[in-house]
C-alpha cells in the first residue's frame, strides 16, 4: 500500500464513520452514579461515573470518569511516602530530559544552518550510515524506526513514505501504549497531591491514537512549584522507565523466548525475501545462511552485515575462469548490451556477458561457469580444468564478467540444508541483498513454531523504546501545549519564589526561552518533514 492509497482508505473510513454514527453519538453519552469510599475527589465536583463520545471528521474522542477510581486504587497499593520519593526522582529525570531536549534542538538547528555552507558527507560515509542504519536492532535486520533518522535530530514519520506500511501496526500500537503510560504517570501524581481528575480517555486523530488525562487546573495552580513539577514531569518519568524496561526486554529476549527459540550465532536465518528479489526461489523463509564468498558468518546479523559491507568496500576481484574456445560464441552478444539503467544486461536475458583481456566477449551462464571451470587471472593460468583434464592454453581463454557498475559483485551465499551446504550465486549490488533479504539470529526449536514470532516481539519493543525516548525528550522542550511549557513555568516560579519584585524578569526569561524553543523545534519539524519526503 502506498501513501496515496493509505490516504484514500483513511478518507473512506472517516467518511463512513462520520455519517454512520452522527445520530448514535448524539444519544451515546451515559451517566450513572457510582460512589466509592475514597479520600480523593475523583472529579472536580462530584463522584459520578460518566462516559461520552465526541466525533468530528478525522477525530474521535472517548472521555470518561470511570477510570478515576482505578487510579486511586492503583495509588493505594503503595505507601504515599514511596510515591513521593518516586515522583521526586521523576522531577529530577524530567529536568534532565528538558536539558537534553533543548540540547537536541540546539544541535539540530546548528546542523540545519551548517547545511547551507558545509560540504555534504562523503558518499561512502552516507552509505555506511544507511547500511548500518538499523544497528540498534539486535536479532534481525529490516526497516525500523531508527533507520529513518539518518543522523538528523528529528525526522517525521510518514506512513507509506519513510515508514513501511508493514510496520504501521507496530508503530501505532507503540504510540498508543507509550501515550497511556505517559498519562498514567500524570494521573498517579495527581492522586498523590490530591488534584481532582476531571476525566481521562482515548482519542484517534486521522490515523494516530493517543491518551489524555484532564486535571482540575484551579487546584493544580494552588500547589507549590515542587508539587506541580512532580505532576508535570510524571509523564516523561514513566516514559523513561518504560524505555529502560523495554531496552532490558530487548537484550534479554533470547532468555524469555528461550522456551521455543535458540540463538544462532554461526549464521543467520532468512525471515523474509522481497517479491522482486532475484533470490526468490533460491532462498526460503527459514533457510540458514552460513557464509558469504567462503567466509563464515560468526557473529549473527552483525557478521552477515559485516561480510556484505566488506564486499562493497574492497576492490572487485579481477579474476576470471578458463573458458574453452568451444564454449565461446562471439556472435550472439545480446547479453552484452549493458547500459547504466541495465548494468547486468537486458532484463529478459539470463546469461551474463564475459570478456577477455583481448576484448573477446561471449554470453555464458555465470552459475555454470563458476561450477565447471578453473579460476584464473590470465590466460596462461588455464592449464587444467576442474576435473584435472589437460586443456592446452591455446584452447582455453581466461574470461571474467563484463561489469561496468563499480558496486556490482559476485556473491557466493552458502546455505545450509540438513547437513549439506549449497552455494547460491548472486550477481549484483550487495546492498540490494541487505535490503531485500531480512534475516535474524533466532531460530525455532520446533517445526511448528513460527520463525517470525521473536522478531515481531523485537520490532514492537524497539518501537515502544524509540517512541518512549522521543516523548521523554521532546515533550519536555518548553513549547506551548507541551509538558515542557508547564514545567518551565513551575521551575521559574520555584527559582523566583523569594523574589517578589522580579516578576517582570521571570516573564522575560520565560518568553525568550519559549520563543527560542518554539522556533528551534519548528525548524527541526520542517527539516524533518523535508528529510522524510526527499529521503
Domain presence at residue 187: yes
How many helices (H) and strands (E) would you count in the chain? Answer: 14, 18
Higher pLDDT, 258 or 158: 258
Q: Do residues 480 and 380 both lie within one domain?
A: no
pLDDT at 113 (0 to 100): 83
CATH number for position 423: 2.30.42.10
Total count of domains within the chain = 3
Please tell me whether residues 217 and 339 are part of one structural domain. Answer: no
Please report the pLDDT score of residue 37 as a whole number.
Answer: 42
Assess if residue 447 is contained within a domain: no
245 domain-assigned: yes
Region 252-266: mean pLDDT is 90
- 234 and 355 assigned to the same domain: no
Averaged pLDDT score across all residues of the chain: 84
What pLDDT, in 10s, does the model give residues 151-210?
455 667 777 777 888 889 999 999 999 999 999 999 999 999 999 999 999 999 999 999
Q: Are residues 326 and 305 in the same domain?
A: no
Residue 207 burial (C-beta neighbours within 10 Å; 0-12, 13-18, 19+): middle
Last residue within a domain, chosen from 401, 421, 451: 401
- Please check the confidence at residue 77 and state whether its pLDDT lies above 90: yes
Quick one: which H or E segment has residue 457?
helix 453-474
Greater pLDDT, 331 or 302: 302
Residue 276 within a domain: yes
pLDDT for the residue 1: 65
Q: Are residues 283 and 396 in the same domain?
A: no
Query: Alpha-carbon distance 405 to 427, whole Å?
Result: 11
pLDDT in tens, 454-476: 999 999 999 999 999 999 999 99
Residues 185 and 57 in one domain: yes
Confirm whether 414 is domain-assigned: yes
Confidence class for position 240, pLDDT limits 50, 70, 90: very high
Q: Give the C-alpha separation, 485 to 94, whole Å.
A: 12
The confidence score (pLDDT) of residue 151 equals 44
Same domain, yes or no: 290 and 433 = yes
Domain range holding 295? 265-314+409-440
Q: What's the predicted TM-score (pTM) here?
A: 0.82
User: Residue 505 pLDDT more than 90?
Assistant: no
24 and 101 assigned to the same domain: yes
User: Is 203 found in the same domain as 173?
Assistant: yes
Same-domain check for residues 341 and 275: no
Tens-digit pLDDT profile for residues 353-409:
999 988 899 999 998 998 888 888 888 888 665 445 555 555 788 999 998 888 888
More confident residue, 115 or 94: 94
Examine the domain organization and report whether 391 and 514 are in the same domain. Answer: no
Residue 72 located in a structural domain: yes
How far apart (Å, rounded) are the C-alpha atoms in residues 17 and 4? 20
In percent, how much of the chain has pLDDT > 70? 84
- Give dist(CA 210, CA 431) in Å, integer: 37
**Residue 188 buriedness (CB in 10 A; 0-12 / 13-18 / 19+):** buried
Cell numbers for 231, please give them.
505532576
Residue predicted with more confidence, 497 or 507 = 507
Is 448 within the bounds of a domain? Answer: no
Q: What percent of the chain has pLDDT over 90?
A: 47
**Least confident residue range of 138-142, 358-362, 410-414:** 138-142
Among 401, 417, 448, the domain boundary falls at 401
Query: In the predicted model, is pLDDT for residue 414 greater than 60?
Result: yes
- 135, part of any domain: yes
86 shares its domain with 17? yes
Cβ–Cβ < 8 Å for 535, 162: yes
pLDDT at 10: 87
Amino acid at each position: 500500500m502506498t501513501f496515496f492509497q493509505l490516504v484514500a482508505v483513511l478518507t473512506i473510513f472517516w467518511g463512513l464513520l462520520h455519517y454512520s454514527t452522527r445520530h448514535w453519538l448524539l444519544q451515546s453519552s451515559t451517566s450513572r452514579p457510582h460512589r466509592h469510599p475514597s479520600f480523593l475527589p475523583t472529579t472536580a465536583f462530584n463522584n459520578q461515573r460518566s462516559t461520552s463520545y465526541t466525533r468530528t471528521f478525522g477525530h474521535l474522542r472517548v472521555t470518561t470518569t470511570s477510570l478515576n477510581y482505578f487510579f486511586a486504587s492503583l495509588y493505594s497499593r503503595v505507601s504515599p511516602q514511596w510515591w513521593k520519593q518516586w515522583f521526586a526522582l521523576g522531577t529530577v529525570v524530567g529536568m534532565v530530559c528538558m536539558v537534553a531536549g533543548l540540547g537536541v534542538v540546539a544541535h539540530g538547528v546548528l546542523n540545519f544552518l551548517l547545511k547551507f555552507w558545509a560540504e555534504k558527507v562523503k558518499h561512502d560515509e552516507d552509505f555506511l550510515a544507511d547500511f548500518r542504519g538499523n544497528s540498534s536492532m539486535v536479532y534481525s535486520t529490516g526497516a525500523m524506526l531508527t533507520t529513518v533518522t539518518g543522523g538528523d535530530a528529528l525526522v517525521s514519520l510518514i506512513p507509506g513514505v519513510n515508514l513501511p506500511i508493514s510496520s504501521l501496526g507496530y508503530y501505532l500500537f507503540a504510540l498508543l501504549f507509550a501515550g497511556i503510560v505517559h498519562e498514567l504517570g500524570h494521573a498517579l501524581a495527581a492522586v498523590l497531591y490530591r488534584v481532582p481528575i476531571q476525566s481521562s480517555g482515548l482519542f484517534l486523530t486521522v490515523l494516530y491514537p493517543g491518551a489524555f488525562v484532564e486535571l482540575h487546573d484551579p487546584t493544580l495552580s494552588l500547589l507549590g512549584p515542587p508539587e506541580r513539577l512532580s505532576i508535570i514531569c510524571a509523564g516523561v518519568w514513566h516514559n523513561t522507565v518504560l524505555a529502560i524496561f523495554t531496552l532490558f526486554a530487548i537484550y534479554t529476549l533470547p532468555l524469555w523466548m528461550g522456551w521455543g527459540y535458540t540463538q544462532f550465532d554461526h549464521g543467520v536465518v532468512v525471515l523474509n525475501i522481497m517479491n522482486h528479489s532475484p533470490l526468490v526461489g533460491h532462498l526460503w523463509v527459514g533457510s540458514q545462511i552460513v557464509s558469504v564468498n567462503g567466509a563464515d558468518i560468526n557473529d549473527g546479523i552483525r557478521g552477515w552485515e559485516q561480510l556484505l559491507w566488506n564486499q562493497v568496500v574492497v576492490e572487485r576481484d579481477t579474476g576470471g575462469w578458463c573458458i574453452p574456445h568451444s564454449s565461446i560464441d562471439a556472435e550472439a552478444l545480446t547479453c552484452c548490451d549493458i547500459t547504466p539503467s541495465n548494468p547486468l544486461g537486458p532484463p529478459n536475458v539470463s546469461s551474463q556477458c564475459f570478456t577477455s583481456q583481448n576484448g573477446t566477449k561471449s554470453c555464458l551462464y555465470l552459475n555454470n561457469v563458476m561450477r565447471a571451470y578453473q579460476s584464473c587471472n590470465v590466460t596462461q593460468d588455464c592449464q587444467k580444468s576442474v576435473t584435472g583434464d589437460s586443456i592446452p592454453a591455446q584452447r582455453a581463454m581466461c574470461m571474467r564478467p563484463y561489469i561496468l557498475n563499480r558496486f556490482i559483485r559476485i556473491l557466493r551465499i552458502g546455505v545450509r540444508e540438513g547437513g549439506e551446504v549449497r552455494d547460491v550465486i548472486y550477481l549484483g549490488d550487495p546492498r540490494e541483498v541487505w535490503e531485500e533479504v531480512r534475516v535474524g539470529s533466532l531460530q525455532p526449536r520446533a517445526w511448528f513454531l513460527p520463525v517470525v514470532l521473536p522478531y515481531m516481539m523485537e520490532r514492537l519493543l524497539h518501537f515502544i523504546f524509540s517512541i518512549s525516548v522521543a516523548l521523554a525528550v521532546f515533550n519536555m522542550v518548553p513549547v506551548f501545549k507541551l509538558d515542557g511549557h508547564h514545567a518551565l513555568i513551575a521551575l521559574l516560579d520555584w527559582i523566583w519564589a523569594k523574589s517578589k519584585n522580579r516578576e517582570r524578569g521571570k516573564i522575560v526569561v520565560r518568553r525568550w526561552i519559549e520563543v527560542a524553543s518554539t522556533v528551534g523545534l519548528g525548524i527541526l519539524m520542517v527539516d524533518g518533514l523535508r528529510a522524510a519526503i526527499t529521503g
